[in-house]
Every structure is written in structure tokens, then in C-alpha cells.
């Protein structure tokens, strides 16, 4: 179970205690990501995430932060997305006050030393190179660039080497101060949660001065141009990484769980349609999968595969045939039942971990302003019907709305599109 609270300054808190563990996780989430950046701070959300670990007045150096947590064997990290930034510590429950104090210190008392910022810019440019030179990592960036061309959702989360090196300290500070306010923050504590948790949070995060809740205005408008949008990176590889993307509505839509179950049926497991047809029957790939990611205003239904580049035409024909088939005929009752059971089992196992449970509740509160239990979510999954899956498959898997991204030996967009039978 969970309980929802607010600190005196307006910060939202969710406590999600459960038994059978001696660990606790605290995660602090802010509703800000790369989609909220203008060109002066392109990559700024990710840059800020890095800078939070570079030192505070009380803990002047990075090693002062890491050493304090390392001595307790804690797990700690942060991540940036297109619409959120999160920081977490998983630690022995008796040491949770240490994690609370340290996160508060990092998030609201980091010094942003100019010399450290210059050094960290070099670190991030190397990180950008790492992603761009790794086809599996970089493919998602290319797909969303194709799908959201001209919108901030289509930009790389980390920015570019130029945008990072050109970024000014005062612009970064102003951007941080706009979004790192109690009104835009959610704190979740999960696992073995002490009875005095709210007191600990009021003593730390509760002391942050209230600000102004940001206004999010840059909503995505569906593209109107016809034809396949393509992004391609030429690499002389024997394997080609390919992604197909289709737009779906944003989180909170009535069909959200139908999209996810459709993804599971198509490519969510080793017994899914695409896995059987593309890998098991024809040996065309090592991996193929389908998934759904949603933002507030739009989402992505994607199919990704690592394929033998020489046999791409056959693989593409096989994948597209499966998409057309399920769009025409839908899924069987047995397939839908299996997908529901898979979702139930995977989520049940996932929520045995305090950090996963903290994120489960945190994302709900951050984006939806309310929290549901796993059982409540499972009821929504169970309510999806065969007819609903058939309808959404036909709506979503419209090849005229498809975007295509690929990293491999194809030298031109035309050559790549020809392999997919696209003119």
C-alpha cells in the first residue's frame, strides 16, 4: 500500500512501505527533461543531472558524495529522460536518513563550480560519442528524431558536443531554478520505511523555498506530411539495427493498456509473433521486439530488430507481413490472455524491489497527479478486450504513418526504403 502527502512547501510525497526487506529507496523526481529545453540549454537537463554529483558546500568534491554512500554499500544514480529527471539512493533502511540528507544537499546546495562544469562538459561529449558509436543505443535517438522532426521531442537528450561546449553557466542556473522547485517535485520512499519519515523530509526537503510551478506549453502536434520519415546512419556493419515507429496517443489515454498488450503479443516475449516468425522460423535476427513509450501528449509504438544486413529485404517483408496480419485480424483470445498474464507476472516480480516500486509510484504522481496500486492497474489490464486490441492494431499499425530508423551499411535513404518495399 501507499500513502500520499505534501510537505509544507508543496512538494508531493508518496510513502510505499512493505515487509520482507531491510532495504529502503528514496527517489526524487522532477518533471523536466530535454523536451523543455531551448537551444541555449540543449542537453541542459542531462548536464544538470551530472552536476548534482560534483560537490556541495558541505561535501565539496564528488568523492565526498560517493564515499559517504559507498561506506554503506548503497546503490545510487540518476537519469534524465525527455520529460523527467530522477535521483535515487537504495540503502539499508537504518541508514535512510543519510540518503535523505545527502540527496537534499545535492539537489539544492550544489555549487556548480565553473571549473568542474568545464571538466564535466568534456565527460558528456565523450558520453555522446559513446552513444552515437553504439548502434543499439543510438537507434532510439534516430527513431524519435524521425518521428518528431522539428519538435524538441526529436532532439537527443544529451544534446550535441557543440551545444554542451557552448552552454553558459548562468543559462544552466536559470534553467535549473525554473524547474527545481517543490511544486515540480515528487519524493517517494519505498521498502522498510521508518515511522518518522515525514519528519525527516520536512527537516530537509521541506526547508526548500516554494517557487512557481512551471507551465508546460510545448505540446506536440501530429505531423501532417505524408510518407515515411527516415533517419539513417551509415556504418559498414554486417548487422543492421532497424526500428519502425508509429505514433500513439499520450499516457492516460483509454487505450494505453491495449497498446501495451498489443506490443507484448507482437514482440514482447520470446514466444511473441515477431520473435517466432523472424528469429525462430527464419533465423533472420538475434533480437526483435515491440514496445510502447508514452509522453503526456504523444507516444511511440516501436518495433526494433538487429538483422542480417544482407537479408534485410526478407526480414522487412516478414515484419511488415506480421504487422498487416494483426492489423487486419487482431489477436486471438489465447494470445491476449497470455499477454495479460505476462504483464501481471512481470509487474509483480518487478515490484518486489524497493527501487522499482518507488519509481512505479513516483512516475504516476509526477505525470498523472494520482497514484494507483498494482491491483488497480491490473484491473485496467484485465478489462482490455480482443475487440479493443483489434481496433487499436488497425489504428496504430498504419504503414502510411510509419517512421523508419536504421544503422548499418545502407548508403542512401532510397536504398533503405527499397529494402522495405517503400516508394
Instruction: List, by residue number, the catalytic residues.
Output: 49
Give the phi and the psi of residue 269 in degrees, each rounded to 5: -140, 175
Angle at 287 between CA 286 and CA 292, to 5 degrees: 175
> What's the CA gap between 223 and 295, in Å, rounded?
16
Residue 91: left if φ>0, alpha if ψ -120 to 50, beta else—which one? beta
* CA-derived radius of gyration, the chain: 23
If we measure between CA atoms, which residue out of 394, 383, 275, 376 comes closest to residue 330? Answer: 394
Other CB atoms closer than 10 Å to residue 221's CB: what's the count?
9
Say if residues 362 and 188 touch (Cβ distance below 8 Å): yes
Which residue bears the cell 523472424? 278
Pairing state between β 12-17 and 185-191: parallel
The C-alpha atoms of residue 164 and residue 124 are separated, in whole angstroms, by 8
Which of 366, 245, 362 shows the shortest CA–CA distance to 296? 366
Measured CA distances, 300 to 148, 220, 291, 292 (Å)? 10, 12, 8, 6
Distance in angstroms (rounded) separating the CA atoms of residues 322 and 392: 15
Whose CA is closest to 263, among 238, 242, 244?
244
Question: Could you tell me the three cell numbers for 66?
Answer: 560517493
Nearest to 208 by CA among 107, 111, 112: 107
8-state DSSP, 294: E
* 148: its cell numbers: 518528431
Q: Beginning with the edge strand found earlier in the chain, give each strand of the sheet holding 3-6 in spatial order.
A: 3-6, 12-17, 185-191, 23-30, 85-92, 75-80
The three cell numbers locating residue 137 = 543505443
Cell of 365: 504522481
**Closest by CA position to 239, among listed 345, 323, 311:** 311
From residue 142, give the alpha-carbon distance in Å to each of 1, 20, 67, 403, 406. 40, 43, 37, 10, 8
Amino acid at each position: 500500500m501507499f500513502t500520499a502527502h505534501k510537505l509544507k512547501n508543496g512538494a508531493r510525497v508518496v510513502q510505499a512501505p512493505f515487509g520482507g526487506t531491510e532495504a529502503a529507496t528514496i527517489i526524487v523526481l522532477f518533471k523536466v527533461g530535454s523536451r523543455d529545453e531551448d537551444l541555449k540549454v540543449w542537453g541542459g537537463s542531462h548536464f544538470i543531472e551530472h552536476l548534482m554529483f560534483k560537490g556541495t558546500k558541505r561535501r565539496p568534491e564528488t568523492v565526498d558524495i560517493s564515499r559517504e554512500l559507498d561506506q554503506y554499500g548503497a546503490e545510487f544514480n540518476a537519469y534524465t529522460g525527455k520529460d523527467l529527471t530522477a535521483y535515487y539512493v537504495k540503502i539499508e533502511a537504518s541508514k535512510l536518513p543519510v540518503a535523505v540528507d545527502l540527496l537534499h544537499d545535492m539537489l539544492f546546495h550544489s555549487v556548480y563550480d565553473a571549473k568542474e562544469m568545464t571538466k564535466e562538459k568534456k565527460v558528456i561529449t565523450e558520453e555522446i560519442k559513446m552513444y552515437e558509436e553504439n548502434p543499439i543505443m543510438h537507434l532510439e535517438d534516430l527513431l524519435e528524431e524521425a518521428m518528431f522532426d522539428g519538435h524538441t521531442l526529436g532532439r537527443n537528450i544529451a544534446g550535441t558536443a557543440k551545444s554542451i561546449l557552448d552552454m553558459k553557466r548562468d543559462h544552466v542556473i536559470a534553467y535549473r531554478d525554473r524547474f527545481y522547485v517543490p511544486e515540480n517535485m515528487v519524493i517517494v520512499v519505498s521498502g522498510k520505511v521508518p515511522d518518522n519519515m515525514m519528519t525527516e523530509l520536512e527537516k530537509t526537503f521541506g526547508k526548500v523555498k516554494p517557487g512557481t510551478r512551471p507551465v508546460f506549453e510545448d505540446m506536440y502536434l501530429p505531423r501532417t506530411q505524408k510518407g515515411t520519415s527516415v533517419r539513417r546512419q551509415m556504418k559498414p556493419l554486417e548487422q543492421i539495427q532497424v526500428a519502425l515507429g508509429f505514433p500513439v496517443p499520450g499516457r492516460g489515454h483509454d487505450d494505453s493498456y491495449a497498446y501495451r498488450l498489443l506490443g507484448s503479443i507482437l514482440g514482447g516475449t520470446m514466444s511473441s509473433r515477431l520473435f517466432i516468425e523472424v528469429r525462430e522460423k527464419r533465423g533472420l535476427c538475434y533480437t526483435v521486439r515491440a514496445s510502447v513509450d508514452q509522453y503526456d501528449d504523444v507516444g511511440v509504438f516501436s518495433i526494433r530488430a538487429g538483422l542480417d544486413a544482407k537479408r534485410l529485404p526478407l526480414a522487412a517483408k516478414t515484419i511488415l507481413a506480421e504487422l498487416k496480419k494483426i492489423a487486419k485480424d487482431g489477436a486471438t483470445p489465447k494470445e491476449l490472455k497470455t499477454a495479460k498474464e505476462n504483464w501481471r507476472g512481470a509487474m509483480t516480480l518487478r515490484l518486489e524491489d524497493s527501487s522499482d516500486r518507488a519509481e512505479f509510484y513516483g512516475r504516476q504522481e509526477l505525470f498523472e497527479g494520482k497514484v494507483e496500486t498494482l491491483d488497480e492497474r491490473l484491473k485496467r489490464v484485465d478489462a482490455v478486450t480482443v475487440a479493443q486490441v483489434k481496433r487499436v492494431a488497425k489504428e496504430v499499425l498504419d504503414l502510411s504513418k510509419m517512421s523508419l530508423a536504421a544503422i548499418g551499411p545502407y548508403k542512401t535513404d532510397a536504398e533503405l526504403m527499397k529494402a522495405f518495399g517503400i516508394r
